[in-house]
Amino acid sequence: MFPSRGITAMQYRPLGRTGIRVSPYCLGAMMFGKGGNPDHDEAIRIIHKALDCGINFVDTADRYSAGESEEIVGKALKGRRDRIVLATKVHGPMGDDPNMQGNSRRWITQAVEGSLRRLQTDYIDLYQIHRPAPDTDIEETLAVLTDLMRAGKVRAIGSSTFPASEIVEAQWVAERRGLARMRTEQPPYSILDRGIERDVLPTCQRYGMGVLVWSPLSKGMLTGRYRKDQPPPDSLRVKYFQKQMSDARSLEAVERLIPIAQGAGLSLTHLALGFVTAHPAVTSAILGPRTMEQLDDLLAAAEVRLSDEVLDQIDQVVPAGVDIGLNEANYNPPALVNAGLRRRPLFDRDAA
């Protein structure tokens, strides 16, 4: 089992063209704090266990449990900070003030100081824009991120859940204006969520960007706990993502994936993790354990290598480039959320 083998078993990968090397698993800290596991001491033990097993990449966000996740990570990294590639994110609301969110210079300048304080560090290795902000010029965002890099507070910058078109725009603006480039993208990716294979992943490869994927287990749908015609387990996922966790197409796909995993001598969880880390564009898969037991199970998949035959079988269940089910945490562009943005005014339609 992988955890007993320690750091020498980990094969580190280049994080895009940053020159930084990271583990193929990244420890995600979203479940640490009141939004998941409120026990700080246990969360710190989980983080330490992951680091002891060779993970050198930790990802969090100011938004997770309203900053509590960053506080826990900061406490856990005392005495270990220099050996860890630390990533956090900015964008989500951090209070009632309408300006305490988004991708503006005003907010990012303030938010980074809060993250540095909570993380108890002088610098952030990877500072990511958590979601696009259509109301903010990307040049505004890149300019302040460039200033933070020049000030030594940030080492590299990246995006999260950006459509391919916005990844390209950010690259072009950076080149035209002489600003720092986004070096990474953090998209959702799993057997059930393969839409990024169509354009996001090829775009990242074209620009030499590192890719750290979130929700490789599709919110837990790919753990085997959620089954067709069976009552869902009592979990936080069901509470927050009820539609996604009961989606008929996803549950049907799970029933077809379980025999594939069994035929390969794997659990469904390990099949799912082996799938995302097999893609050549993927640098690291984010693991989001809430308990030590979950971490041990996830780490045990570190040496899983899926054969072409198994990957072909997965393709028969969920075709490449297709999102089978719902992803209620994904980014939806304004034109998909606001029907008025995709409908001409009535007088224009009458004139046509």
* Catalytic site includes residue 123: no
Least confidently predicted of 99-113, 177-191, 322-336 = 322-336
Q: Strand 284-287 to strand 210-213: parallel, antiparallel, or no bridges (unpaired)?
A: parallel
Asked if 190 contacts 222 with a C-beta cutoff of 8 angstroms, the reply is yes
CA distance 219 to 235: 11
What is the number of other CB atoms lying within 10 angstroms of the CB of residue 237? 19
Candidates 25, 64, 127, 226; catalytic one: 64
Mean pLDDT of 307-320: 98
What sign for the dihedral angle of Cα 206, 158, 330, 343?
Answer: negative
The dihedrals phi and psi of 56, each to the nearest 5 degrees, come to -120, 15
Helices (H), the chain: 40-52, 68-76, 105-119, 138-150, 164-177, 200-206, 236-240, 242-245, 248-263, 268-278, 292-299, 308-317, 334-337, 346-351
pLDDT surpassing 60 at residue 151? yes
Tens of pLDDT, residue by residue over 33-77, are 998 999 999 999 999 999 999 999 999 999 999 999 999 999 999
Count of domains in the chain?
1
Say what the pTM is: 0.92
Pick 142 or 349 by higher pLDDT: 142
* Residue environment code for 23-38, b if the CB has 16+ CB neighbours within 10 A, otherwise e: bbbbbbbbbbbebbbe
CA distance 169 to 177: 12
Mean pLDDT of 318-331: 89
The domain that holds 266 is classified in CATH as 3.20.20.100
Domain that holds residue 250: 2-351
Residue whose tokens read 């303030």? 110
Q: Which pLDDT score, from 0 to 100, does residue 76 have?
A: 98
Average pLDDT score over the chain: 93
Q: Which pLDDT score, from 0 to 100, does residue 238 have?
A: 60
Tens of pLDDT, residue by residue over 117-136, are 999 999 999 999 999 999 99
CA distance 134 to 91: 12
Q: Strand 182-186 to strand 21-22: parallel, antiparallel, or no bridges (unpaired)?
A: unpaired
Beta-bridge partner residues of 182: 157
Mean pLDDT of 212-241: 81
